[in-house]
A and B are shown apart, each in its own frame.
Chain A
Amino acid sequence: MGKTLLIGLDGATFTVLDPLMDRDVMPFLGSLAARGVRAPLRTIMPPLTPPAWTSLMTGKRPGEHGVFDFFQKETPDSEYFHFASSQDVRSATIWSRASEDGKRVISLNFPLMFPPPAVNGYVVPGGWMPWRQLRLGCHPPGLFDRLKALPSFEPRELALDMKLEAKAIEGCAAEEYADWIQLHLRREQRWFEIVRDLLQDEEQADLVAVMFDGTDKLQHLCWRFIDPAFRPEHPSPWEAEIIALCERYFHDLDAIIRDLVELVGPDPTVVLASDHGFGPSSDVLYLNAWLEQQGYLVYADGDDASAPDEAPQVGFSQMTRHVFELDWRQTVAYAATPSSQGIHIVRRAAGSEVQMPTETYERLLAEIAAGLLAIRHPEDGRPLVTDVRLRGEIFRGPYEELAPDLTLVLADGGAVSILRSDTLVRTRPEPTGNHRPEGIFIACGPSIKVGAWLDELSIVDVAPLLLYSLDVPVPLDMSGRLPEEAFEAGELQRRPPRFSAGGEHDQATPPEGDVVYDSDEQELMLSRLRALGYVE
């Protein structure tokens, strides 16, 4: 049986890849898709990197695996958030399940892998893994020193630099674009060279997985140079240079994918998947500003209108500052991060034991949702929020109480800002890229159908497929299913999948629960609700 190779392409979308394959900018990817199957891959809601990759790795949805955002609520009633880490992943992953079954794995650049789990093989974490700590993220101990001996090893360019990450989201000066794109060209090559080195081991890996995230970064910042529908008709010399550099990135990535497939040996099963899709985006909705206007959120320093400058920003570097910016005696709803596009309801005031009655809570949710759906763009009157989903609808599972109470879907992939502002909506002068729910799935291998376009798959279907490919039992408690339609007729009869009950490796620690009432605190809660007009 050949190896299983998983190539993650963060944020990849057929909107971008199809024209590149058609024009032979990515000839290998085109041939791979033609020799296998392809399908749109529906991600979880919201389409966001940490929970989405975790869903791919576990075959479960966020309420079941416990990861909702880059930052995690400490407890259901806490206003504090901590940096999401592997300790927040409450379900077994493809890495741990394969290891338990005696398989050897290589997992490179996937998020939520720090501190590194003790798998049978190698882990170099990705996501928000700062380069200064990369040594601590490598498994097994000693791996970092082995990698350090590689001529191309440069942790500063391999792992996260927060300032560079911010540029993808908040934008950067025109003269910085070229260097920034070239950094991602080098970065993907560095990850490839690590795989190449690890594959020289005598003991070969059964599952080789590497994630490339330059796709996400470039699409955020350079969407208007990547999507043919948005490219300038008559580009300036600078625009032409950026268009060419973006195209070169995808061309080089194609060569890396080709070399990886060749490197893993004969007859591999190759799976390419993205955590979410991408599309153009222009509007930024200042969500906390709206909540403040409606009286749901109160800043501790009153009316200090320290509004951001005119350039729209989502508040990337301001995440979780709500803890000391808000007046917790008066605030009942807030957005902690722009990424989750979510609103948390304060059901219990800071230091209080009194919880908002369920009936009031539900009325508050309905009122906020209705208000959000009624927001109109100030210039053309179109709705900005197309849907508002309740926590119980999209995050059902043992960890749902850690998720936002409400999650927004913005029109045209709009972004949320958590910054203070006297303006509710700002429009970026040039469209950028933002996440969409429809990602990509391509698979190719000895038992995979040839040239088939499948109906949409779910991101949680990828884990069962990978486990089947590895001949590891597929847990029955996964939300995903084994996509039988991807395989040649008779393959599943020839090699029937093995199943297990599941749950045996999960860290079942549901969040803390409920309430104790006290008359003084009850009065405090009532006074807050009175101020908002909820009780007489």
Chain B
Amino acid sequence: MTELDQQVFGDVLELIAELSADWEYEGPVGPDTRFLADLGLESLDLVVLGTMIQHRYGQLPFAEYYAEVGQRPVAERDVSVADLVEFVCRNRTLSTELT
């Protein structure tokens, strides 16, 4: 995991920890935790979470990402913490390189 990955991973974990207390979720949260299946989020929750992440990291192609997730077979339509961190790092790096 790069330094950037660790920073984003830490931020995302902190965000989920902050929110999950309001959801009465008491289980562990790690890289493999899935937002829908494990944390019980709905798809709109994921979209709004993406909006907040963009607020922190700048414009990211969430619309394309979620469209890709939505295209998968039903059983695979979920996003893990590691997936999200990887998405943010990959695209944040790209946008940094471009600027």
Q: A residues engaging B (CB < 8 A)? A: 74, 78, 80-83, 85, 87, 114-115, 128-130, 132-136, 144, 148, 155, 160, 162, 320-321, 323-324
Q: Given A83-B51, A321-B70, A324-B70 in contact, is the A132-B41 Cβ separation under 8 Å? A: yes
A-B contact pairs, 13 of them (CB 8 A): A82-B47, A83-B47, A83-B48, A83-B50, A114-B48, A115-B55, A128-B44, A132-B41, A134-B22, A135-B18, A136-B19, A320-B67, A323-B67
Contacts of B63 in A (CB 8 A): 74, 78, 80-82, 320, 323
Closest to B18 in A: A135
The reply on B83 being an interface residue by CB < 8 A is no
* Most A Cβ at <10 Å: residue of B41, B54, B63: B63
Residue of A nearest to B52 (CB): A136
User: Is B42 an interface position by the 8 A CB rule?
Assistant: yes
Taking the nearest CB of chain B, how far is it from the CB of A157, in angstroms?
A: 14
CA distance A132 to B48 in the complex (A): 10
A143 CB to closest chain B CB (Å) equals: 13
**Which residue of chain B lies nearest to A116 when distances are taken between CB atoms in the complex?**
B55
Residues in B with CB closer than 8 Å to A87 are: 51, 54-55
Which residues of chain B come closer than 8 Å to A132, judged between CB atoms? 19, 22-23, 41, 45
8 extra interface residue pairs, beta carbon distance < 8 Å, beyond A87-B51, A128-B48, A132-B45: A80-B67, A115-B55, A130-B44, A133-B52, A135-B19, A320-B63, A321-B70, A323-B70
List chain B residues, Cβ under 8 A from A160: 44
In the complex, B64 has a CB within 8 A of chain A = yes
B49 cross-chain contacts in A, Cβ below 8 A: 133
In the complex, the answer to whether B67 meets A324 with C-beta atoms within 8 Å is yes
* Chain B min CB distance to A487 (Å): 40
Which of B42, B62, B64, B71 interacts with A162 by CB under 8 Å? Answer: B42
List chain A residues, Cβ under 8 A from B51: 82-83, 85, 87, 114-115
CA A78 to CA B63, docked complex, whole Å: 10
Q: Chain A: interface secondary structure?
A: mixed
Please indicate the chain A residues that have their CB under 8 angstroms from the CB of B50 in the complex: 83
Q: Is the CB of A135 within 8 A of B55?
A: no
Which chain B residues (50-83) contact chain A, with CB distance < 8 Å? 50-52, 54-55, 61-64, 67, 70-71
Q: Give the docked Cα–Cα distance between A321 and B55 (Å).
A: 24
Q: Give bound CA distance, A148 to B54, whole Å.
A: 26
Smallest CB-CB separation from B39: which chain A residue? A132
Number of inter-chain CB pairs below 8 Å:
65
Q: Report the minimum CB–CB distance from A97 to chain B (whole Å).
A: 22
B45 touches A133 (CB 8 A): yes
Select one of A74, A130, A148, A323 contacting B45, CB under 8 A: A130
Query: Are A155 and B48 within 8 A (Cβ)?
Result: no
Assuming the contacts A81-B63, A115-B55, A130-B45, asked whether A324 and B71 have C-beta atoms less than 8 A apart, the reply is yes
Give min CB distance, B49 to chain A, whole Å. Answer: 7
Give the Cβ gap from B45 to chain A, nearest Cβ, in Å: 5
- Pairwise interchain contact B48-A130, C-beta atoms closer than 8 A: yes
User: Per a CB cutoff under 8 Å, which of B48, B54, B71 touches A133?
Assistant: B48
Bound form: Cα–Cα A148–B51 in Å: 23
A135 to B47, CA, bound (A): 15
Instruction: Tell whether A80 pairs with B70 under 8 Å between CB atoms, given A114-B48, A135-B18.
Output: no
| Chain B: minimal CB distance from A457 (Å) | 33
A155 touches B70 (CB 8 A): no
Docked Cα-Cα span, A132 to B21, in Å, equals 10
A9 to B2 CA separation, bound complex (whole angstroms): 50
Name the residue among B15, B48, B64, B71 with the largest chain A CB count within 10 angstroms. Answer: B48
Q: Which residues of the partner chain B approach A129 to less than 8 Å between Cβ atoms?
A: 48
Asked if A115 contacts B42 (CB within 8 A), the reply is no
Could you mark each residue 1-25 of chain B with 1 if its beta carbon is under 8 Å from any beta carbon of chain A, else 0?
Answer: 0000000000000010011001100
- Enumerate chain B residues within 8 angstroms of A82, measured Cβ to Cβ: 47, 51, 62-63
Residues of A within 8 A of B48 (CB): 83, 114, 128-130, 133, 136
Task: Report yes or no: B22 in contact with A155, Cβ–Cβ below 8 A.
Answer: yes
User: B13 → chain A, closest Cβ, in Å?
Assistant: 15
Closest B-chain residue to A136, C-beta based?
B52
Check B64–A80 contact: CB distance below 8 A: yes
Q: How far is the CB of B43 from chain A (nearest CB, A)?
A: 8
Closest residue of chain A to B62 (Cβ to Cβ) is A82
Residue pair A130, B70 in contact (C-beta under 8 Å): no
CA distance A320 to B71 in the complex (A): 12
A83 to chain B: which residues have CB within 8 Å? 44, 47-48, 50-51
Interface centre among B15, B50, B52 (most CB of A within 10 A): B52
Beyond A82-B62, A115-B51, whether A135 also contacts B44 by CB under 8 A is no
Chain B residues with CB below 8 A from A136, complex form: 15, 19, 48, 52
Complex alpha-carbon distance, A81 and B67, angstroms? 9
Chain B neighbourhood of A133, CB < 8 A: 19, 45, 48-49, 52
Neighbouring A residues of B18 by C-beta, 8 Å: 135
The 6 closest A-B pairs by CB, nearest first: A80-B63, A323-B67, A82-B63, A324-B71, A115-B55, A83-B47
Q: Which residues of A contact B45 (CB under 8 A)?
A: 130, 132-133
What is the distance, in angstroms, from B89's C-beta to the closest C-beta of chain A? 20
Please indicate the chain B residues that have their CB under 8 angstroms from the CB of A324 in the complex.
67, 70-71
> Chain B's nearest CB lies how many Å from the CB of A374?
34
Residues of A within 8 A of B62 (CB): 82
Give the complex CA separation of A155 and B47 in angstroms.
18
> Taking the nearest CB of chain A, how far is it from the CB of B87, in angstroms?
14
Residue of B nearest to A160 (CB): B44
Instruction: With CB as the reference atom, state the residue of chain B lying closest to A163.
Output: B42
Chain B hits for A155, CB < 8 A: 22
Residues of B within 8 A of A81 (CB): 63
Which B residues are CB-close (under 8 A) to A134?
22
CA distance A324 to B72 in the complex (A): 10
Q: Which residues from chain B contact A321 at a C-beta distance below 8 Å?
A: 70
Given A81-B63, A114-B51, A134-B22, the answer on whether A162 and B44 have CB atoms closer than 8 Å is: yes
